[in-house]
Amino acid sequence: MITVLRIGHRIGRDKRITTHVALVARAFGADKIIIDTKDSHIEDNVRSICARFGGDFEIKSGVNEKKIIKEWKGTIVHLTMYGEKLNKSIGKIDRNRDLLVIVGAEKVPPQIYEIADFNVSIGNQPHSEVAALAVFLDRYNVGGWQEKHFNGKIEILPSNKGKKVVSKDK
């Protein structure tokens, strides 16, 4: 079970990027996203995508992130440009334990660096939580997310030309 924890979410300002973090989490094999700040708009948006495109992905906002981190029984990975190189960390993470992947927005509090089992960098340049999460999940799942079936009402058939979409509502 993979849960993504988004911390530092600012309503309004981070609306698009946190939605993208959630959608990347869903598409690349995570089971759930939890967001520190309550944001019903993002919850509704992501749930609406899940309802149409399928899967069991869960979203919850307005959580007490300190409590979640403190009580987490599995592994905690924090994605940060200051972390250890992905190539070095990835093999050390136990795939049999539940995983909490933390991504920030603004400056991340020092306690997160301390409590994480692994502070992992996706390169040591600043970029984006969306990109960092996608690369990390791809490597963690060894690309397996590509074979996942979501069984949604809408299914896109891969095509080299044009759009091929099956709508199961009709």
> For residues 44 and 106, which CB has a smaller minimum distance to ligand SAM in the complex?
106
Q: Using only the alpha carbons of the chain, give its radius of gyration.
A: 16
- Nearest distance from C-beta of residue 86 to ligand SAM, angstroms: 8
Which tokens sit at 11?
Answer: 């309503």
- Nearest distance from C-beta of residue 164 to ligand SAM, angstroms: 34
Residue nearest to ligand SAM (CB): 104
Quote the CA–CA distance of 169 and 165 in Å, as a whole number. Answer: 12
Quote the CA–CA distance of 15 and 43 in Å, as a whole number. Answer: 11
For residue 160, give Cα distances in angstroms to 35, 157, 164: 36, 10, 10
> For residues 87 and 159, which CB has a smaller minimum distance to ligand SAM in the complex?
87
Maximum separation of any 2 CA atoms in the chain, in Å: 52
- Nearest distance from C-beta of residue 62 to ligand SAM, angstroms: 20
> For residues 48 and 128, which CB has a smaller minimum distance to ligand SAM in the complex?
128
Binding region for ligand SAM (CB under 6 A): 79-81, 103-105, 107-108, 121-123, 125-129, 132
> For residues 30 and 50, which CB has a smaller minimum distance to ligand SAM in the complex?
30
Quote the CA–CA distance of 136 and 121 in Å, as a whole number. Answer: 9
- Nearest distance from C-beta of residue 82 to ligand SAM, angstroms: 7
